[in-house]
Amino acid sequence: MATIDQREIEHARTRKPVRVHDPLPPSPLPSPPTSPSSRTTPPSLPSAARPAPAARQGERLAALDGLRFLAALVVVFFHLVGQVPATFQRIWGRPYQEVFPVAHSYFAFGRLGVELFFVISGFVIAMSGWGRSPRDFFIARVARLYPMYWIAVLLTALFLTTVDTPFGQPALRTVVADMTMLQTPLGVSDLSAVYWTLWPELCFYLMFAVVVWRGVSYRRVVLFCGAWTVAAVLAPAADNPLMTTLVNPVSAPYFIAGLAFHLMYRFRPSPLLWGIVGMSWLLAVQFLLASSGGRIDWQEWSPNKGALVLAVTVIFALVGAVALGWTRRITWRWLGTAGRLTFPLYLIHYSVGIWLANTFGRRMDPWLLVVGSTLAFIALSYVLQRYAERPLATVVRRSLRSAAWRGPA
């Protein structure tokens, strides 16, 4: 999942816009206006691309942090409460009708928390890439993703090796391949079921790096959204596995919508941007409702289709509220802490959580087990983020910044 840390916030506040040959030059990230009359906009800019009087960036990020933490919690409860019936019975040793007869049908939709992550990712990656060089963009992404991911892979491998779990012993090749975060193209299974989302993220970073290389601007982000939309539609029809793997048609609409929402926030909403969001929503719904090759395996889970459409609409609406500045009053500092816990919480909960349900599901109240486990995962996430991820990320960031990026003359 894409995340943005405090160093990136400070970078975004202080950096200067990149000069690019584009009729729609990037504006600095919004800052608190002194007065309406003090805000000037070049007359040559179309009104849709003029900087909007948005809320301060810290306020916006507080709302996004809250949404990220909400998405992580939803995914945790899906894995513990809302799994498909056959998987649920293997985990808990009895059917869901005996354990969570009412809650199961609601938390089954928690799998869509991943889609909320993807929309937020599009939003924050556009922000973090604005005004950055490809080198800085690369360093920021590597330092943000890999340290916590490496920690999670090693801890998960240690846990699966030393504890008798339903997953069995992990193969050494699986652990090694997963450390690269490239296990999907390598054809190696994920050590933890939640790792599958990282490949779409990496593909998004790789493709958006081209925009960063050229200089992120309103026009280039719009063109990128259009090109990716076309590629996502054509890839399945072209029957090209490489193109499909890179473009990720099922996930693409959410990232694209996030990019458009960021442009709305940075500049202003416009018919063009709403058109991008609308097309992304239509494609997202299409891939959800597809009988095959889509997001849902209808043989395992057959939810109400209207409820699916409503869930996707809510996901888009939540990030859209941030883009339109409706969340500017949300400035609670604890949301920043919650946002930093999102990635470790997402990475570490699955294997241990499933083992706890499988081992203690008949020995204690199920809700007490689920809530207690979730609180324990949150506490562990705080410890890992503060005392393991943060120091390791600092080392990685400093090492990459000090490295020679050019060969000898």
Supply the Cα-derived Rg of the chain in whole angstroms.
Answer: 22
Residue 27 lies in a domain: no
Q: Is the pLDDT of residue 306 over 50?
A: yes
So what's the pLDDT on residue 318? 97
Residue 44 lies in a domain: no
Report the alpha-carbon distance of residue 409 to residue 407 in Å, rounded: 6
Residue 29 lies in a domain: no
- Give residue 95's region: left, alpha or beta (phi > 0; psi -120 to 50): beta
So what's the pLDDT on residue 287? 94
So what's the pLDDT on residue 28? 37
For residue 230, give the nearest of 277, 269, 280 by alpha carbon: 280
Token pair listed for 272: 């063009």
Find the mean pLDDT for residues 270-284: 98
Helix (H, G, I), strand (E, B) or coil at 132: coil
Helix pair 305-323, 271-289: axis angle to 10 deg: 150
Report the alpha-carbon distance of residue 67 to residue 135 in Å, rounded: 29
Find the mean pLDDT for residues 191-209: 96
So what's the pLDDT on residue 47? 52
**DSSP character string of 201-249:** HHHHHHHHHHHHHH---HHHHHHHHHHHHHHHHHHHHHT-HHHHHHH-T
Q: Which residue has the higher pLDDT, 126 or 241?
A: 126
* Nearby residues of 337 by Cβ (< 8 Å), 6 or more positions away: 382
- How many structural domains is the chain composed of? 1
Q: Is the pLDDT of residue 15 over 50?
A: no
CB atoms within 10 A of CB 69: 21
Residue 49 lies in a domain: no
Token pair listed for 224: 């990128």
Find the mean pLDDT for residues 14-39: 38
Helix pair 305-323, 113-129: axis angle to 10 deg: 30
Q: Which ranges of 215-333 would DSSP assign to H, the alpha helix?
A: 218-238, 241-247, 252-266, 271-289, 305-323
Q: Is the pLDDT of residue 55 over 60?
A: no
Residue 48 lies in a domain: no
So what's the pLDDT on residue 50? 56
Residue 41 lies in a domain: no
Residue 165 lies in a domain: yes
Domain that holds residue 105: 6-10+60-402
Report the alpha-carbon distance of residue 48 to residue 171 in Å, rounded: 53
Residue range 213-262, pLDDT digits in tens:
999 999 999 999 999 999 999 988 888 888 888 999 999 999 999 999 99
Residue 47 lies in a domain: no
Length of the chain equals 409
Find the mean pLDDT for residues 278-292: 94
Q: What is the dihedral of CA 176, 178, 294, 357, to 10 degrees?
A: 110
Over the chain, what is the mean pLDDT?
87
Q: How many helices (H) and strands (E) does the chain have?
A: 18, 0
Q: What is the DSSP letter of 37?
A: G
Position 48 confidence tier, pLDDT thresholds 50, 70, 90: low
